[in-house]
Structure 1
């Protein structure tokens, strides 16, 4: 067997409305409602399914908890523009030890530059662009 791609992942959230608002209004993802009033955030060829804490869909992660994810999301937008946009939206941007907001990292396909923020549950979101 060979895995070829990631289709979706699941985030367990404390406040469904706050999460949906952040991911749709700030990050531009599209809200998708499906099944028995389930919610997902669609972007590109992927989606993030949302589970309400305490009412997770079965089967679910053995230790489903809010704020434990660390995700890297790719953008085509130049990172200085992303940084200005996030700051204009009032989103706190995490800086490194030197006070830098845009930092070099390594992605699945090579060198990237990244900006870090946290969603309403405290999940770490790395917004990156390949060099």
Structure 2
């Protein structure tokens, strides 16, 4: 297989300020390299690009999924900390847990590794999963 790793994803957003603030509170680094129409939140060697309404609402912008709308994202992040630290962070940013902690099969070890996941939603309604592997 020649695909080595995941590099980035992109999603449309409604409220850029709320989204950037939310992800920054979760510990992501905000990049303004392509502001004001694209901002990014970075973690490890990865990033999620946030497309501002001015961009994703334009019929001329075709480098996106044809049905992409705010809230269409579903992301799983590997949490490098304890379940207690994750619970505290989620409590601190005042968002409800959708489900979890629950056991889930993740992407590690060719999709065979099992971890414990907790799910929340961001301000646009995108689903965020935080998985903790036993060796993390």
Shorter-chain TM-score category? 0.7 to 0.9
User: Equivalent residue for 2:84?
Assistant: 80
Cα shift readout 1:10-65 (whole Å, capped 9, x = no counterpart) = 0110100000000011x110111113533111110000001023522542221221
Q: Does 1:49 align with 2:49?
A: yes
Secondary structure of 2:65's aligned partner? coil
Normalized against structure 1, the TM-score is what?
Answer: 0.87
47-56 vs 106-115, greater mean Cα deviation: 47-56
d(CA) in 2 for partners of 1:36, 1:30: 15
Taking only aligned residues, the RMSD between alpha carbons, in angstroms, comes to 1.6
- The 3 A distance-change label for structure 1 pair 48 and 117 is same
Q: Does 1:124 align with 2:127?
A: yes
> Greater helix percent: which structure?
2
User: Equivalent residue for 1:34?
Assistant: 33
Q: List runs of 5+ in structure 1 lacking aligned partners.
A: 96-100
Q: List runs of 5+ in structure 2 lacking aligned partners.
A: none
TM-superposed CA distance for 1:87, in Å, is 1.1
d(CA) in 2 for partners of 1:80, 1:36: 35
Name which of 95, 118, 127 aligns with 1:115.
118
- The answer to whether the Cα contact below 8 Å between 1:114 and 1:127 also exists between their aligned partners in 2 is yes
Normalized against structure 2, the TM-score is what?
Answer: 0.84
